[in-house]
Amino acid sequence: MRDIHTSAIVDAVKKLCIDANLDLEPDMLRAFDRALTTERSPAGRHVLQTLKQNAEMARTQRIPYCQDTGFVVCFVELGQDVHITGDALDAAINEGVRQGYTEGYLRASIVRSPFDRVNTGDNTPAVIHVDVVPGATLKLMLMAKGGGCENRSKYRMLTPAEGTPGVKDWILDCVSTAGPDACPPLILGVGVGGTFEKAALLSKKALFRELGSPNPEPAIDALERELLARANRLGIGPQGYGGDTTAFGIHILTYPCHITSLPVAVTIECHAHRHKEVTL
Amino acid sequence: MSVTTGADGTKEVAPPLSDADVESLKAGDRVRITGVLYTARDAAHGRLLPLIERGESLPIDVRGQIIYYTGPSPARPGMIVGSIGPTTASRMDKYVPALLRLGLKATIGKGYRGQAVKDALRQHKGVYFGAIGGAGAVLSQFVKKLSVVAYDDLGTEAIRRLEVENFPAVVVNDCHGGDLYTDGMKAYAREDT
C-alpha cells in the first residue's frame, strides 16, 4: 500500500489545466505539419498556418490557445494498492481545477445548473471518471474539452443488421453534420459496443491515444485509416473553408455488446485538442 | 464607403456599414476589419431579445454595427484581453433577424447559419463573417481597446466594446445568397467517400 496525499493531486491537476491550455502536445503540432504537406486549398493552408502560429503564441505569450478553455474531463486510473490521504479525491481534483483556472487566467465556462445557468466562476466542477487498476500509482489523464465541438458529439444505436458498413457511414455522417461548427480539422473519439453509457465513455477515452499512432488492434487500425481517408475526401477542410484536411484522426475503442445491440458514440474534438497526463 | 479593397486584394472593412457596403462583400472575400466590434453571445442575446420584443432601447445602438460572437478568456495583468476567438454562430440564429431589422449589419462567428438567417441577410442586407475558430491567441493581437458596456454580471458573456485594427475574417454568407462553406466543400470534395 502506498500513500498519496491529495495535496499532490491538487498541484498536479492545477498544472495539467494550465499546461493543457497553453502548450499544445507535440502530437498536435506534428498533425499541423503533416496536413500542410497534403492540403491543396489555399484557404485551408492559411488556416493551418494560423493555427500553428496560434499554438506558438499560446506557448510563448501565455495566452490560451482557444478562449474556450474547456470543461475539464479527468480520467483517473487509480492503482488498487494506493491509499489516498487528506481530502476526498473528487474535491482534490476540483480544487486543482479551481486553482488552475483562476491563477492561469483561463475562462470560467461552467454553469452550476443546466436550468438556471449561473456561472460557477472558477470552471468547477470537472467531469471525473475513475477506474481502479492494478498497481500502486495514480494516473491523471486530463482534457480541456471545448464546447463547440462537444455540442456536435452524437450517439446512435444501430442494429446488428446494419453492421460494419452502417457504423462507417454513420461515423462519416457525424463528420459531415459537425462540419465547420466544430472547428475542423477534427479528431473523432469513437466508442463502439458496450451499452449506451459505455460507448459514450469509450468515445471520450479514445481521444487520449497519441494522434497519429496506430490502433493496437490491426483490424480496427485498418478501419480507422479507411474512415480518415474517406472523411478527408468530404471537402469540408480546415474551418470548413474547403480543403483536404477535415480530420486529423479517428480513434476507435470497442467493447463486447449484447446480441441485439450495436451502440456507437462519437465524441467530436476540435483542433484545439488539449490533453495532458501525469502519473503520481 | 466603409469597404475598400487593399493592395493585396483583401477588403478593408470599417464599421458603421451601409447597405452598399454590405452589397460589395461576396462569399469567400478575405477582409480586415478596423474599428468597433461589440461582443455578445448566448446569455447577452437572451437579454437583448425581450427588450427588442417590448420595443425598448438596447444598451448598444446596433445600427450599422458588427457583433462578434465571443467570450474572451481573462486578460493577464498588463494585457488588453486574453484569448478571443469566435464561438459557434448557429446558437445565436434565433436572434439574428430581429437584430438585422434594427439595423445590425454583420456578425462574426464560426460554423453554419440556418436558412432563416441566410434569408434575413438577403432581406435586410447583412453579412456573416467567419473568423478562425480556436485561433484565440492570434486574434487577441488585433484588439487594441476593450471595455464592458453592458451585463457585467455575465462575466465572459458580457457585452464588450472592442476597438480592433486589421482584424482578419472571411465572408461566409453574403447578402446575395453566396455561401463559402457550400462553395469550398464543392471545390474540394472527391468522389468515393
Tell me: the pLDDT tens digits for A181-234? 999 999 999 999 999 999 999 999 999 999 999 999 999 999 999 999 999 999
The answer to whether residue A29 sits within a structural domain is: no
- How far is Cα A40 from Cα A44, in angstroms, rounded to an integer? 8
The 3-state DSSP composition of chain B as helix, strand, coil percent (nearest 5) reads 30, 25, 40
- Judgement on whether residues A8 and A112 belong to the same structural domain of the protein: yes
Q: Where among A145, A161, A194 does a domain terminate?
A: A145
Structural domains in chain B (count): 1
Place of cell 496525499: A5
Tens of pLDDT along A131-143? 999 999 999 999 9
Residue A91 has pLDDT above 90, yes or no: yes
CB A243 within 8 A of CB A40: yes
- Judgement on whether residues A162 and A267 belong to the same structural domain of the protein: yes
> What range does the domain containing A183 cover?
148-272
Is A172–B187 a contact, with Cβ atoms under 8 angstroms apart? no
pLDDT at B193: 62
Q: DSSP secondary structure string, A136-157?
A: S-EEEEEEEE-HHHHTT-EEEE
Which has the closest alpha carbon to A228: A213, A246, A214?
A246
Is B112 an 8 Å CB contact of chain A?
Answer: yes
- Judgement on whether residues A171 and A257 belong to the same structural domain of the protein: yes
The answer to whether residue B193 sits within a structural domain is: no
Structural domains in chain A (count): 2
pLDDT at B39: 98
The answer to whether residue A123 sits within a structural domain is: yes
Interface test with A, best of B31, B171, B185 (most A CBs within 10 A): B185
Residue A175 has pLDDT above 70, yes or no: yes
Is A107–B191 a contact, with Cβ atoms under 8 angstroms apart? no
The answer to whether residue B102 sits within a structural domain is: yes
Percent of chain A with pLDDT over 70: 100
Compute the mean pLDDT over every residue in chain A, rounded to the nearest whole number: 97
Residue A48 has pLDDT above 80, yes or no: yes
Nearest to B188 among A51, A146, A242 (CB): A242
- Minimum mean pLDDT among A54-58, A110-114, B1-5, B94-98: which range? B1-5
What's the pTM?
0.96
Residue A59 has pLDDT above 80, yes or no: yes
pLDDT at B191: 75
CATH number at residue B7: 3.20.130.10
**Would you call B158 helix, strand, or coil by DSSP?**
coil
- Judgement on whether residues A134 and A164 belong to the same structural domain of the protein: no
- Judgement on whether residues A103 and A16 belong to the same structural domain of the protein: yes
The answer to whether residue A75 sits within a structural domain is: yes
- How far is Cα A106 from Cα A72, in angstroms, rounded to an integer? 12
pLDDT at B81: 97
Residue A270 has pLDDT above 70, yes or no: yes
Chain B residue with CA closest to A178: the answer is B111
- Judgement on whether residues A115 and A165 belong to the same structural domain of the protein: no
Is B138–A172 a contact, with Cβ atoms under 8 angstroms apart? no
Q: Where among A145, A176, A210 does a domain terminate?
A: A145
Cβ under 8 Å to A: B residues 62-81: 70-76, 79
The answer to whether residue A50 sits within a structural domain is: no
Q: Where among A122, A145, A168 does a domain terminate?
A: A145
Per-residue pLDDT of chain B (193 residues; tens, 9 = 90+): 799 998 899 999 999 999 999 999 999 999 999 999 999 999 999 999 999 999 999 999 999 999 999 999 999 999 999 999 999 999 999 999 999 999 999 999 999 999 999 999 999 999 999 999 999 999 999 999 999 999 999 999 999 999 999 999 999 999 999 999 999 999 999 976 6
> What range does the domain containing B72 cover?
3-188
Nearest to B183 among A64, A242, A243 (CB): A242
- How far is Cα B164 from Cα B36, in angstroms, rounded to an integer? 6
Distance from CA of B18 to the nearest CA of A (A): 26
Q: Which amino acid is at A228?
A: L
What average pLDDT does range A101-130 have in this prediction? 97
